[in-house]
Each structure stands twice: as C-alpha cells, then as structure tokens.
C-alpha cells in the first residue's frame, strides 16, 4: 500500500501556489478570494478522479463522495482538511525547494536575507536526517498547514480508485475555509456531510493522533483612561497604557504559553492597541480542564473589580467568549475510532503519538456538532512561519494512514 511520493509532491506544489491566507478583518466567508479559487480547483480535481456528489457551496466548503465498492454495511468515514493558510506570514510569492537527503547541517533558506533553518533552534530537524525535506526561501510560509492534509486525502482517494481490490465503504471528504481565523466549522453542514465519524488531517509531526484539546475562551479587555495635556496632567491624567502594563504584570507569571506545556493552561495577551485615553487588550484563556478554565475567567473578573476600585468605576470592562471545548468528552464514548487510526499507523510501522492538543481544531468543534472527529498528522512542522518544513516521507505516511483507516473501517459493520 505504498503511495508514490512524486504524486504527492506534484499535487502539493500545485496547492501551495494558491495564495489562500485567511483574513480576520473580513467577515465574509471565505474571507479571501484565493480560497474559493482553490475550492473550485479541488472540486474539478475530485470530479476528474471519479468522486461523486462533488459540491462547492457559496461559502467555499467542498464536499465529495467516494462510493463504496463492496462494503455497503461499513460505517461512513470522513476526512477533512482546511484550505486557508495562516495570516501570520506571507503566503506568496512561493518558492519551495526540496533539500535532498538532509545531512543534519544548517539549511540556508535565504542567503541574501541571512535566514537559516538550524537544528540548534529546531532540534526536531535531526529526526529527519537522510530524508528529503521541502522548505521555502524563508520569505513565506510553506502552507503544509493544511495543504499537506488536503494533499494526503486527495492522493489517498486517487490511490483507492486505482486499487479497487481494496474494498471499502462509502467515504466522504471535505475541505473547509477560514480555519486559521477560527471560523471553519461555523458553516459546516454536518447533516449534509452525513458521515458516522471523521478525521481531520491537521496535525504536525509523523505519528500524531490527537483526541483531546484545550477548552478555549477569548477575552477582550477594554481599559478607559483620561487623556490630559501633560502640562496640567498631575492628579488628572489616567494613563490607559500604564494600566494595561499593570494588568499584564498581575497575571500569574508562569502561566503563559512560553512557560507551559502538556496539560498546563495559560493566560495570553496576544494583541494590544490604543493610547493614553483608551487601550484594548485581546487575550486567550486555555485549559484542558473546564473547571480550571472557569477559574481563569473568575480570576480576570476579580482583577477587573480590583482595577475599577483603584482607578474608578468603568475603567475596566471585559467580555469573555468561549471558542471551543475539549473534544475528549465526545470521543471517549467512541474510542474505537481512535483505535482504528492507531492500527492503521502501527500497520505502517508508525508509532502513534497521542498527546493533548495545545490549541483547538475543527475536529473539536465538529465533535460537539455531532461528528466525532480526532486529528491526524500531516507531517509538516513549524507551522505559521518562515521556518516551516515538510519531510516528504511523513507526507507519504499521512496519505497511507488514510488508506489504512479506510481498510480498517471496511471491516466494521454498523
């Protein structure tokens, strides 16, 4: 069941030349035109491969079916990836290249700009000595998040079509917009997708198999100051910028992203704008334990009360919105779908690595929408930046894991 790496590379190269960065400032869906261009391209490609029920809706969601070829009683399994790439780094012009048989030395991405991918900074590089690795010129991201996932799914469907001796039930695939700005599941039609369960291909290093994630909430902290001419400010000015700094200093020092790992949650101020008169802070609250997340919310409310007592009523206003919940709650009753993926990996000689996601996935939201949906590796690493890279053998194994899951699901009856 070996999928040709050349097919994967050719397909991935085509996908990454679509600039599909999402745009948080645009409320339309998809938020950028490049996503719709890729959606239509994928629909045409899937049709050409012989999939049926191929549809692109007005918001750029692509869905298609690979009909069963002899296992009509098997559960309907789905595979999902997102088309957009992160707005955190430029998405074009794309100049990818393949480092053949990586030798463990530093990789010069861009000599002119002195951009170097080094194992001193990214020791995981050394896990791929001897393998072919795809990188960019250091001026853009690569887009493996999540075009590697799309590539793995489409190539697996192509392989299954070319090998009818691999019996399987009905398979559904979907490609979604605007995942990087947290909207991908907003308009996903679970009923129309009509799968019994699914897998997102949106993980990173080979072997990744994830079925639990952070509970996440986003916080807007509005700080109202009082601007005055500096010549007459004594006793009158209330500097919102200084209050914002004080707010951050009162957050628990060790409970931030750069100081935590595993199941440890955090507070994170990730955006700030304003002046003496008014400041707006954007924060992330994350914790795998829902009770601990609620404690974090309560702590911020108590901080707001403290500041309003100190600086005057209305100085601090906070709005907290839940973003996603820990999918483990929905996956545990159907853990056999995790076991199916584990078996597929083990059969390929891959050691499954089950670890908590320190973030959220489409699968988390979809699981709470009635579609249990663990997450599987794509092979890429260092997402959202210029040091992103993709070991090609890992991409190959991601695609083969999809075909392995299909084979395993065919042995189950509803």
Strands 171-176 and 77-82: parallel
The end-to-end CA distance of the chain, in Å, is 26
Tell me the sheet residues that pair with 238: 226
Handedness of CA 32, 37, 42, 44 (dihedral sign): positive
Q: Which of 45, 84, 158, 388 is catalytic?
A: 84
- Does residue 50 have a cis peptide bond before it, meaning omega lies within 30 degrees of 0? no
Q: Which tokens sit at 208?
A: 């990744």
- The label of the residue with tokens 């909207």 reads 183
Q: Which of 179, 202, 287, 362 is catalytic?
A: 179
Three-state secondary structure call for residue 87: coil
137 catalytic, yes or no?
no
CB atoms within 10 A of CB 331: 21
Strands 133-135 and 209-210: unpaired
87 and 181 Cβ atoms separated by less than 8 Å: yes
353 and 204 Cβ atoms separated by less than 8 Å: no
Three-state secondary structure call for residue 360: coil
Nearest one of 401, 402, 372 to 195, comparing CA atoms: 372
192 and 63 Cβ atoms separated by less than 8 Å: yes
With both helix axes pointing from N to C terminus, report the angle between 144-162 and 5-16 in degrees, rounded to the nearest 10: 140
Q: Please classify residue 6 by burial: count the beta carbons closer than 10 Å to its beta carbon, then call 0-12 exposed, 13-18 middle and 19+ buried.
A: exposed
Q: Which tokens sit at 109?
A: 């991405």
84 catalytic, yes or no?
yes
H or E segment to which residue 177 belongs: none
**Residue 74: which residues within 8 A CB-CB, separation 6 or more?**
68, 168, 169, 170, 409, 410, 411, 412, 413, 414
Q: Which tokens sit at 292?
A: 């601990």
Q: Which residues are catalytic?
A: 84, 179
């Amino acid at each position: 069941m070996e999928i040709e790496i050349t097919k994967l590379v050719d397909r991935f190269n085509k996908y990454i030349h679509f600039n599909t960065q999402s745009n948080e400032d645009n409320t339309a869906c998809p938020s950028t035109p490049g996503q719709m261009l890729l959606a239509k391209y994928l629909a045409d490609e899937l049709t050409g491969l012989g999939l049926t029920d191929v549809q692109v809706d007005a918001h750029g969601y692509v869905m298609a079916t690979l009909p069963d070829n002899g296992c009509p009683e098997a559960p309907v399994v789905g595979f999902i990836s997102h088309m957009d790439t992160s707005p955190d780094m430029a998405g074009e012009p794309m100049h990818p290249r393949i480092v053949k048989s990586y030798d463990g030395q530093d990789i010069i991405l861009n000599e002119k700009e002195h951009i170097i991918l080094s194992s001193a900074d990214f020791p995981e590089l050394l896990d791929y000595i001897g393998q072919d690795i795809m990188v960019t010129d250091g001026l853009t991201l690569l887009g493996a998040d999540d075009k590697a996932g799309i590539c793995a799914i489409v190539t697996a469907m192509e392989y299954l079509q070319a090998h009818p001796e691999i019996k399987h039930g009905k398979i559904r695939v979907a490609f979604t917009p605007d995942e990087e700005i947290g909207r991908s599941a907003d308009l996903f039609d679970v009923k129309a997708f009509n799968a019994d369960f699914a897998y997102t291909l949106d993980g990173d290093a080979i072997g990744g198999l994830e079925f639990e994630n952070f509970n996440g909430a986003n916080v807007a902290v509005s700080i109202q100051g009082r601007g005055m001419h500096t010549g007459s400010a004594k006793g009158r000015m209330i500097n919102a910028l200084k209050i914002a700094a004080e707010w951050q200093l009162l957050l628990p020092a060790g409970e931030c992203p750069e100081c935590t790992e595993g199941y440890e949650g955090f507070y994170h101020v990730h955006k700030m704008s304003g002046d003496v008169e008014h400041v707006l802070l954007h924060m992330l609250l994350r914790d795998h334990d829902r009770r601990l997340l609620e404690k974090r919310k309560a702590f911020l409310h108590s901080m707001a009360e403290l500041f309003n007592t100190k600086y005057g009523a209305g100085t601090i206003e906070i709005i907290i919105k839940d973003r996603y919940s820990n999918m483990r709650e929905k996956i545990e009753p159907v853990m056999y779908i995790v076991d199916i993926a584990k078996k597929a990996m083990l059969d390929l000689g891959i050691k499954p690595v089950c670890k908590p996601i320190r973030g959220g996935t489409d699968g988390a939201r979809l699981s709470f929408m009635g579609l249990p949906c663990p997450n599987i590796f794509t092979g890429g690493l260092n997402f959202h930046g210029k040091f992103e890279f993709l070991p090609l053998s890992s991409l190959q194994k991601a695609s083969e894991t999809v075909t392995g899951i299909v084979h395993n699901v065919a042995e189950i009856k509803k």
